[in-house]
């Protein structure tokens, strides 16, 4: 009897240690993957150099940890304990505000001015933007700059009192709006617009558990953008309208609960009701206008909620995320680095260029897109090498984000160079292919 009791006491602890290994090999239990941003470690080639340097052992240890069976289950238990008992987030890029409203710290930093780029740099950036706008207008192309609001900018009241909202400096947003007016640049300021209307609308512009503008807010944003474009080009783009929609607190669309997903909890968070409009399109209309959108993840809402922009603009239109990779209309995400070698050739085919930045990304000063166009238009003799260097940066960025580490590590071992040098070699190799085939851009 005593042995049976001891066995009963020991068995649960033994299973905790044994089950992950069994699950890893046999996959006995169907486990949903984690939804937070997570890049599992890859194996490193075993060579004399990697063994004696200790790199192989460290890499293999991380690989075993990241690929442990039942790892998602243990992570969710840990996250649920932190959230429900301690009131803490386990995902470092999410903070819990008042009334359990979720937000990201980067938007609070922007609100406080902690990421201020400096008045001189911003003035120079907007001046170059004006030069680019004028040159594009001369080529009969319309340029529009969009400022998207961060959640904290619109709802600062969600920030806990213990954290505070005292600004340490002027903000990129404040200076940038001033310079946009000074240089007469075409722009729409959705920060100011959202703050003005937030107390007059029934449904929130940002959901409780979302970090991007809500589905109902996006409908207003798209209406404003399309009407501005139509006025500028003096032409109707397409006949479409959104009619009476519906209210739901289940199956929220696209990014309306993206932060809740990143929390990776056992018990899902219950969202507040949201409103979604219904769009009706005149399918007989011709989608002849070609647009290039350069911006951040807020732009994904233009097709992520109801696939609106793909039904408004031509099939050759594109979205270049952060001026790094092509994401729309062919969504292969980070595997599609922008081939800047043929930037001018592509610009020639466009009707509209839309540059977007949320307030927290204003310090990136247009993701270098304006700088490259400015160089292309004002110093064409110096632009070739600049754009080639940009392509190599994009290739390296995509390689790092697409888990090409194993390939690069093999190259580093075979060539006896550092991993950073191997990335440079890879960039030059792929650059040659892009130059010969005009790959990625078309």
Dump pLDDT digits (tens) for 364-411. Answer: 999 999 999 999 999 998 899 999 999 999 988 888 877 677 788 778
Please report whether residue 441 resides in a domain.
Answer: no
For residues 172 and 308, membership in a common domain is answered with: yes
The pTM of the full predicted model, rounded to 2 decimals, is: 0.86
How many domains would you assign to the chain?
A: 2
Cα 223 from Cα 312, distance rounded (Å): 12
Residue 357 lies in a domain: yes
Note whether 7 and 104 are same-domain residues: no
The verdict on residue 398 lying in a domain is no
Rounded CA-CA distance 172/126 in Å is 12
- Verify that 222 and 145 share a domain, yes or no: yes
Residues 194 and 323 in one domain: yes
Last residue of a domain, one of 381, 405, 431: 381
In-domain check, residue 155: yes
Point out the domain boundary residue: 361, 381, 401: 381
Q: Which domain holds residue 270?
A: 95-381
- Are 326 and 246 in the same domain? yes
| Residues 21 and 106 placed together within one structural domain of the fold | no
- Asked whether residue 22 falls in the same domain as residue 103, the answer is no
Kindly give, in sequence order, each residue whose CB lies less than 8 Å from that of residue 154, ignoring residues fewer than 6 positions away: 191, 194, 195, 198, 205, 206
Return all residues near 56 (Cβ < 8 A) that are at least 6 apart.
Answer: 44, 45, 46, 47, 50
Residue 252 sits in the same domain as residue 350: yes
Q: Residue-wise pLDDT tens for the chain (442 aa)?
A: 555 665 555 655 555 545 555 545 445 566 666 766 555 666 667 777 677 677 777 776 667 666 666 677 778 888 888 888 888 888 778 999 999 999 999 999 999 999 999 999 999 999 999 999 999 999 999 999 999 999 999 999 999 999 988 888 799 999 999 999 999 999 999 999 999 999 999 999 999 999 999 999 999 999 999 999 999 999 988 767 777 889 999 889 999 999 988 888 888 899 999 999 998 888 777 788 999 999 999 999 999 998 899 889 998 899 999 999 888 775 555 567 888 988 999 999 999 999 999 999 999 999 999 999 999 999 998 899 999 999 999 988 888 877 677 788 778 878 888 888 888 888 888 887 777 665 544 4
Is 41 a domain residue?
Answer: no
173 and 264 part of one domain: yes
Query: Strand 142-148 to strand 352-358: parallel, antiparallel, or no bridges (unpaired)?
Result: parallel
Whole-number Cα distances in Å, 336 to 226, 291, 343, 371 = 27, 18, 15, 21
**Are residues 5 and 104 both part of a single domain?**
no
- Domain identity same for 24 and 145: no
Final residue in a domain of this structure, among 381, 409, 432:
381
């Amino acid at each position: 009897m005593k042995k049976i009791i001891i066995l009963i006491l020991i068995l649960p602890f033994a299973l905790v240690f044994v089950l992950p290994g069994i699950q890893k090999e046999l996959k006995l239990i169907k486990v949903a993957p984690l939804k937070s941003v997570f890049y599992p470690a890859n194996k490193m080639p075993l060579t004399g150099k990697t063994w004696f340097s200790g790199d192989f052992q460290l890499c293999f240890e991380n690989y075993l940890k990241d690929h442990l069976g039942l790892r998602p289950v243990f992570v969710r238990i840990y996250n649920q304990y932190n959230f429900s008992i301690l009131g803490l987030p386990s995902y470092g890029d999410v903070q819990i505000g008042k009334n359990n409203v979720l937000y990201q710290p980067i938007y609070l930093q922007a609100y406080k001015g902690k990421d201020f780029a400096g008045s001189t740099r911003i003035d120079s950036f907007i001046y170059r933007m004006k030069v680019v706008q004028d040159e594009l207008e001369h080529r009969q192309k319309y340029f529009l700059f969009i400022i998207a609001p961060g959640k904290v900018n619109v709802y600062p009241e969600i920030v806990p009192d213990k954290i505070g909202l005292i600004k340490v400096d002027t903000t990129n947003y404040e200076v940038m709006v001033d310079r946009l007016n000074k240089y007469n640049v075409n722009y729409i300021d959705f920060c100011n617009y959202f703050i003005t209307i937030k107390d007059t609308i029934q449904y929130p512009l940002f959901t409780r558990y979302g970090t991007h503008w809500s589905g109902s807010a996006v409908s207003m944003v798209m209406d404003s953008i399309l009407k501005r474009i139509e006025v500028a080009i003096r032409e109707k783009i397409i006949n479409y309208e959104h009619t009476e929609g519906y209210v739901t607190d289940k199956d929220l669309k696209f990014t309306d609960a993206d932060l809740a997903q990143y929390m990776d909890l056992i018990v899902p968070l219950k969202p507040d009701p949201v409103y979604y409009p219904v769009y009706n399109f005149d399918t007989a209309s011709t989608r002849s206008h070609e647009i290039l959108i350069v911006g951040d993840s807020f732009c994904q809402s233009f097709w992520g909620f109801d696939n609106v922009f793909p039904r408004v603009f031509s099939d050759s239109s594109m979205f270049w995320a952060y001026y790094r990779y092509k994401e729309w209309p062919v969504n292969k995400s980070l595997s599609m680095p922008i081939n800047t070698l043929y930037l001018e050739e592509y610009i020639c085919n466009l009707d509209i260029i839309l540059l977007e930045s949320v307030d927290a990304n204003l310090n990136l000063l247009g993701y270098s897109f304006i700088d490259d166009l400015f160089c292309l238009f004002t110093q064409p003799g110096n632009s070739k090498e600049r754009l080639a260097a940009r392509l190599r940066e994009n290739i390296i960025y995509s390689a790092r984000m697409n888990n090409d580490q194993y390939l690069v590590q093999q190259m580093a071992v075979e060539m006896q160079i550092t991993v950073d040098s191997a990335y440079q070699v890879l960039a030059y190799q792929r650059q040659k292919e892009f130059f010969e085939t005009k790959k990625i851009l078309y």
